Structure 1
């Protein structure tokens, strides 16, 4: 050991890593969860939440184990290319790019709708989305430091307003609404609606591109990184559970169905809550929380896509190249939000389709290949998350989630949704 090294340099706290994971996971995607969960309702929602939590925990640990076979600093791109080869690397790159573009569209649409509803503006919602997305795009173009500072401020505000909003909603929450209903009016079982909901829950737990960053920060301290991943996802899962059941208990199934039928955008959800909870400060807290959740999500996804495009196309940090990178990154999703202003839920679902590939299927494929090459499950977690059989379960989950999205009303219109 180098005697000049300090404990802080050798052993960074796990709190920072937990916040990285939780802050990346918790975002605007959670706003859609009460709406998309209304069909399957309470029991199935808990089961889907728990299943998705463990699958995404397992796939994140698969990425971690693969990452530890490389030097700290190796990117997800490097991992896939050197483990699965160039074809899988292309699939992975296309999936990551598609997810980020769809999320930017969703966040631009949702952010514009939130501002438009909360301020009661007379101008078209599409124009508000254009201004919202354009303003945040300028911040990302300006510098990463601006994004860092804004994200820190907004995450703190999001935490405060989330707990304030939940506290304010408690008096209007009716437990009976949560505990009743096992079938829907047309006698379809609630389990039938689980299938179309899976991509949305998968997207809401997706943070896996951050695992290499954790390895870079903590080095090859596998135990510490595993704790960061577990507790970060656990915090997100608790927040999701509270938010979903607050929506269930306040609005009830039929009101959530109406929200979905209107398009499922954030402004529709806010209007439904305000029709029941008339206290102005509660409405303000919910609106501010929704706005901050969308902003932090946009900044995170936007910065990731901006850097990805720059690296992919070989653009440098000069003003001209940054302008080209910004145009390729932000013009498509922002223009899309002006032409289709109420596509928030649809976009989250499409993001789930591609996210299943790079955050579930590819990590499971990497783990499976390692098993075949070494003839052993190997490494920590072999008792639970690293056995060949469990890898097959994770792979199966990723495949069926992708298939179910293709069968959803947004694509082939085979599966039912409650709207």
Structure 2
């Protein structure tokens, strides 16, 4: 059992900031684009369901982790509680998901930061902007979880202030009738729900915080209560931000305009440009630009911390300056190179991340929780709520696989 140090561990608010900063970041810019088919009401429903199921799986993983020494990550837990073949597949899926999300955020951030730096008179190209941002984030992650939490908190506070200032301005332009019953070729409610299944993988990817749980447990010295509060508070705050964001975007951009945004790549730059066309005040446009910068950096930091922790655990690098430098190089260099060679893969990458996250963010926590009870609670009956939680997590994972396969085989409609 991991030790508990309730007296000296930091406030759960710091952990909640890490989780919220990881979850509610650059990926939120894809949501209005991929949810345009199902539109507002159905999309809100799926977001709430996804939040609940992903939170359950995170809490299951946390409970299992507390039976192991501090710092024991996915690789250690799967080696101890699952067959070897499952552990290998799970490890590959984690590396791929966190790696592809890192690639997606670097790819999406390039045009955004390049445009801003060029405006300031720094004539750099897309690749140089990506390299500069990656170097800064890599340095912060190398410094450790405490530094990351402080920077994420700073960025998140700034992002939230900007977001609510932006929301306060955009809400006046929201067309409520467009939000609830958009006037387009599909005016009836039954025309929207068939598109719902296609958004499931993106909703799952929008609540991917599981790679940060190991670091949080170490950060709080095994204090279960504080870790639990951080997970619940952080994910719930992210859900609220998502709902505000959908209201602002879908209430301002007509539904029939979203296919064009998707054809332009569906990334941050494309959506921001569409919002600029609908916002009359230049001040709101500036707020939107600055907000996007903080959203990118928050997500980038949160995701790469999870990948960094997994690489260190998998390869056994020491928690020294040299060891962390090796981990940082392996964490950041491959996604950076891929983003320079293949710069237009943001939307596609998020979709694949949602599929593969099913394994390590849903199925693996459920399997670990089931097997951990057999090892650490022998003779004790399984609680009903524990069994229900595992069942819901697995069912949501199966739904996600069906949705992704159906989309790839064109068995479900895409908007």
Distance 2:11 2:324 in 1: 35
1:351 corresponding residue in structure 2: 353
Instruction: Report SS of the residue matched to 2:208.
Output: coil
Counterpart for residue 231 of structure 1: 233
8 Å Cα contact 2:355/2:404 also seen in 1: yes
What SS does the aligned partner of 2:413 have? coil
Deviation track 1:166-196 (CA, whole Å, cap 9, x = no partner) reads: 1121221111111104986499832222222
Distance 1:150 1:46, change over 3 A: closer
Match for residue 44 of structure 2?
46
2:32 is matched with: 34
Counterpart for residue 162 of structure 2? 161
Q: Tell me how far 1:238 sits from its aligned partner.
A: 0.8
Q: CA deviation at 1:72?
A: 4.6
Structure 2: distance between partners of 1:316 and 1:357 = 28
Distance 2:11 2:129 in 1: 41
Q: Is the 8 A contact 2:158 2:294 kept in 1?
A: yes
Q: 1:117 to 1:172 in 2, by over 3 A?
A: farther
C-alpha spacing 1:16/1:324, structure 2 compared with 1 (3 Å): closer
Q: Is the 8 A contact 2:9 2:219 kept in 1?
A: no
- Which position in structure 1 is the counterpart of 2:304? 302
Q: Whole-Å Cα distance in 2 between the matches of residues 123 and 135 of structure 1?
A: 16
CA distance in 1, matches of 2:172, 2:381: 51
CA change 1:237–1:308 in 2 (3 A) is same
Provide Cα deviations, 1:297-328, integer angstroms capped at 9, x if missing partner: 22232343344334433455788766654443
Contact 1:77 1:93 in 2 (8 A): yes
Q: What is the RMSD computed on CA atoms of the aligned residues?
A: 3.2
Q: 1:176 to 1:305 in 2, by over 3 A?
A: same
Q: Does 1:393 align with 2:392?
A: yes
Q: Report the alpha carbon displacement of residue 36 of structure 1 after superposing the two structures with TM.
A: 1.2
CA deviation after TM superposition for structure 1 residue 357, in Å: 1.0
Give, in angstroms, the shift of residue 198 of structure 1.
0.9
For 1:66 and 1:94, the matched residues in 2 are separated by: 21
Displacement, 1:359? 0.9
- State the TM-score, normalized to the length of structure 2: 0.85
Q: Which moved more, 1:149-158 or 1:124-133?
A: 124-133
Q: Which residue of 2 aligns with 1:340?
A: 342
1:209-224 maps to which residues of 2 (within 5 A)? 209-218=211-220, 222-224=224-226
Q: Is the 8 A contact 1:52 1:201 kept in 2?
A: yes
Q: For the Cα contact (< 8 Å) 1:126–1:339, is it kept in 2? A: no
Check the 8 A contact 1:130/1:338 in 2, yes or no.
Answer: no
Task: Return the offset for 1:372.
Answer: 6.5
Q: Which has the higher contact order (CA 8 A, sep 6+)?
A: 2
Q: 3-state SS of the aligned residue for 1:408?
A: helix
CA distance 1:117–1:87, change in 2 (3 Å): same
TM-score of the two chains, using structure 1 as the length reference: 0.84
Q: Show CA shifts across 1:19-60 (max 9, x none).
A: 333233221111211111111012211210111011112111
Give how far 1:404 is off.
2.6
Residue in structure 2 matched with residue 4 of structure 1 by the alignment:
none
**Alpha-carbon distance in structure 1 between the residues aligned to 2:322 and 2:219:** 32
Equivalences for 1:15-414 in 2 at 5 Å? 15-118=13-116, 125=126, 128-137=129-138, 140=141, 147=148, 150-181=151-182, 185=186, 189-218=191-220, 222-315=224-317, 325-370=327-372, 374=378, 378=382, 382-383=384-385, 386-387=386-387, 389-409=388-408, 412-414=409-411
Residues 233-242 or 213-222, more deviating: 213-222
Aligned residues: 405
Contact 1:183 1:189 in 2 (8 A): no
Deviations 1:381-402 (A, max 9, x none): x43xx12x54233212113313
